[in-house]
Amino acid sequence: MPYYNKIEWENLQEEKKFTPGKWNFEFPFEMPKIKHVLIKRDESYNILINIECEMNRKLPNEIKENSYTIKIRGKYSSEGYVLKNCHLFEQITSVENSHGIFTLKLTVTSILFDSGVDGEVTWIKEWYLNGPHNHRIFHRTTTFEKKEIYNKQLDNSVPELQTANPFEIETNHVSSTRRNYMFCKLNDDENIIISLVPDEMKPAWSDNICLQYSSKKHMDDINLRRDIENIISFIFGRKLIKIAESYYDINGNKIKETMIDPFINNNLDIKNICESSDNFPIPIYDYSRDSSESIMTNMINSFISKKETLDFTSMFINYWSSTFLPSESRIILLAASLESLMNKWFDSINSKRSTVIIEKSKYKQLIKDIRPVFLETFEGHTQIINNFNQLNRLSINKSIELFFEEINLDMGDIEKNALYSRNDPVHGNDIDHDTFSDLMIYVEIYRIILNRVILKLLDYNGDYILNNLIEPIPVTNKLPFSLDELKNDIYEIKYYDTE
């Protein structure tokens, strides 16, 4: 296919081998003679380093005990690599041609590539695993072309041939056109291109995404780019997993790149995560190009303008962490996410009401005479004492009901029961079989509730997705079913199969 690898994916799409003939190696300690250094990604896309060296001296203790930085620089080129936080996890001893060989296997958190060429960065591409499987959200087309130029020119030292034109012909011309990106024109004339990575570049078990930035504001602010990554992940219904970011000059030459580990817990299977079904919170894939791009753009703009006031960044840490946990743990983090947004809302100028019944100082004054007796009576009953100390405020559940009223979200009985279901896991209470069966349903309902809240706070007024049995409904509307209607399908709760 007509793709230029250096533009369409990160540097470690193929393993890289460095030998002493072409490269210099710099360690923070003395090493045996290096035969080669091999850098590659394993099947889970973690970065691995293999160092093969001769047994001409003892291995330094530092290589076994500490994390350290290794530098590799070209002898005849300006290219260089910096391997950060290297850590030895396996050492193999072997014999080759009667010589002892050490093979050292290391992990590394990140690798910095520098082309060594000075140039102005004009755009950045960030590369992600775990993109959506449904590609109907990408309406705009890109044409890829690749060709070779064959040039033949005679030596013009012959006077009669000095005016002869060189022979030039195009050969091996290949082209392809595909729908693969969406364009978001943000406030202040900033823009983002969200595009698919060609199938040929990716691991077979993941659909991958590229976020491309060309404005100085975005290129200079990594935290802003992380925030944009979060809201795009939310709209896609799956956490984008970053593995690299590349910096290019105006001609598309890669100036530098940072390659990183996916940072997925070793107990989790990144392949299963990336192969899991899409879980869009809204049916953005069913809209026209202009509508889908308008929704994406408006939500990114709204998110950026409100992220400080409502602290979306902290909320999303819990939100995404919850996706990898069992139900009883997951609902705790979902509850923390909702309560974080709620508290920020009541603290902001958006709220016209308060969860405070009596100011804390006044409440302390009112209970100062009875508090010692209360503490003595209920000594050892921590939860009761905590509740007593917070009687000047509405309960969490009452606060959430008030919050829903303020942001104009309708809430039915099943939503209320889902909100109450967080109590047992949060307080460490025993959960019997029947309660756990209900909890499996409620944790999904809780996620839908949180999605609705996020969408409403981002000024989205369209439809939201429930499951594959019910058409999307307006975001302000409560869920149109009861727990009993769901119980028979407890293991059938699925979301729109949008493939």
Whole-model pTM: value is 0.85
Q: 127 and 87 share a domain?
A: no
Domain boundary pick from 227, 254, 281: 254
Q: Say if residue 81's pLDDT is above 80.
A: yes
Q: How many residues are there in the chain?
A: 499
pLDDT at 466: 81
- How confident is the model over 416-474, as pLDDT tens digits? 888 877 766 666 666 655 666 777 788 888 899 999 999 999 999 999 988 766 788 89
User: Which residue type sits at 243?
Assistant: I
Is residue 196 situated within a structural domain? yes
| H-helix or E-strand spanning residue 29 | none
Is residue 296 situated within a structural domain? no
CA–CA distances in Å: residue 410 to residues 190, 401, 413, 452:
35, 10, 10, 10
Q: 179 and 246 share a domain?
A: yes
Does residue 37 sit in helix, strand or coil?
Answer: strand
* HSE of 40, CA atoms in CB hemisphere, 13 A: 11
Does residue 258 sit in helix, strand or coil?
Answer: strand
Q: Say if residue 497's pLDDT is above 50.
A: no
Instruction: Please compute the mean of the pLDDT values over residues 160-179 and round it to a whole number.
Output: 77
| H-helix or E-strand spanning residue 427 | helix 423-427
CA–CA distances in Å: residue 261 to residues 228, 246, 270, 493:
20, 15, 12, 33
- How confident is the model over 236-250, as pLDDT tens digits? 999 999 999 999 999
**Are the C-beta atoms of 293 and 183 separated by less than 8 Å?**
yes
Tokens at 360, concatenated: 């804390």
Number of domains in the chain: 2
pLDDT at 172: 78
Among 45-49, 63-67, 200-204, 265-269, top mean pLDDT goes to 45-49
CA–CA distances in Å: residue 48 to residues 21, 34, 83, 104:
22, 17, 10, 10
Is residue 172 situated within a structural domain? yes
Q: 86 and 182 share a domain?
A: no
Q: 55 and 83 share a domain?
A: yes
**Are the C-beta atoms of 146 and 173 separated by less than 8 Å?**
yes
Residues in a beta bridge with 463:
474
Q: Say if residue 491's pLDDT is above 50.
A: no
Look up residue 327 and give its DSSP letter: H
pLDDT at 412: 86
Instruction: Please compute the mean of the pLDDT values over residues 158-166 and round it to a whole number.
Output: 68
Q: 73 and 185 share a domain?
A: no
Is residue 398 situated within a structural domain? no
Domain boundary pick from 204, 237, 254: 254
Q: 12 and 82 share a domain?
A: yes
Q: Say if residue 479's pLDDT is above 90.
A: no
Q: 130 and 60 share a domain?
A: no
Backbone φ and ψ for 392, nearest 5 degrees, come out as -80, -5
Residue 127 CA to residue 248 CA, distance in Å, equals 14
Range in 112-116, 296-300, 432-436, 444-448 with the lowest mean pLDDT: 432-436
Q: 250 and 143 share a domain?
A: yes
Structural domain containing residue 92: 5-114
Q: Say if residue 41's pLDDT is above 80.
A: yes
Confidence band for 492, pLDDT divided at 50, 70 and 90 = very low
* Cα angle 5, 115, 195; round to 5: 35
- How confident is the model over 308-363, as pLDDT tens digits? 888 888 899 999 988 888 777 888 899 999 989 988 888 887 777 677 667 777 77
